[in-house]
Amino acid sequence: MKTNTLYNLVLFSNLFWGLANGIYGPLYAIFVKNMGGGLIDIGIAYSILLILQGVLMIPFGELTDRYGRKRFAIVSGLLFAFGAFLYAFWATNVLSVFIIQIILGVGTAMSIPSWSTLMFDACGKKGKNKKYGALMGGTYVCQGIASIAGAAIVAYTSFSALFVIMGFLVLVSTVLMFLIKFE
């Protein structure tokens, strides 16, 4: 696959992932509170995600080296979408939030090693830092735009609608992964 084509597919896939992450980020604490959680529960839910990411990234990095990035990038996207749909249709209390955070933590830990190396490879040798900056900068811009959109979605519809949209955004990102030829 040509470097420019690879880069563009990775860019668009990453932007959709950024939209999905940004759409719920600043609203997450309100969602947990609506599920009956307090401040400690919000901290526990977020800690579950971060600790699992930190603990599992090394073994998933090793498995990604052994079995290939594409497989792990796709499975991680499917796990993340599954978690979003669980939030939309199954989350009713703090315990369900904790369980979904486990799924998202595993999915995110799986995605980071595969995505990071894929992004570096997609940038090629010439202008690598500028291209990587555009990938990451675009992701943060998408997250910022999505944060506003997410607030509007919840204000005018519901958290369920927000999580359904989040799930579909991640699925679009994941479908783009099927078009990428690497390894």
The CA distance from 159 to 28, in Å, is 10
Q: Please state the φ and ψ torsions of residue 181, each to the nearest 5 degrees.
A: -105, 115
Residue 123: pLDDT over 60: yes
pTM of the model: 0.92
For 31-43, the pLDDT digits (tens) are 999 999 999 999 9
Q: How confident is the model at residue 61 (pLDDT cuts 50, 70, 90)?
A: very high
The CATH architecture that domain 3-178 belongs to is Up-down Bundle (1.20)
Residue 124 region by backbone torsions, left for phi larger than 0, else alpha for psi between -120 and 50, else beta: left
Residue 26: pLDDT over 80: yes
DSSP 2: -
The CA distance from 113 to 63, in Å, is 10
Question: Is residue 18 within 8 Å of residue 138, measured between CB atoms?
Answer: yes
DSSP 166: H
Domain regions of the chain by residue span: 3-178
For 75-110, the pLDDT digits (tens) are 999 999 999 999 999 999 999 999 999 999 999 999
pLDDT (mean) for 116-126: 83
The CA distance from 122 to 46, in Å, is 31
The CA distance from 176 to 12, in Å, is 8
Question: Is residue 68 within 8 Å of residue 109, measured between CB atoms?
Answer: no
Q: Please state the φ and ψ torsions of residue 126, each to the nearest 5 degrees.
A: -85, 125
What is the CB neighbour count within 10 angstroms for residue 142?
Answer: 22
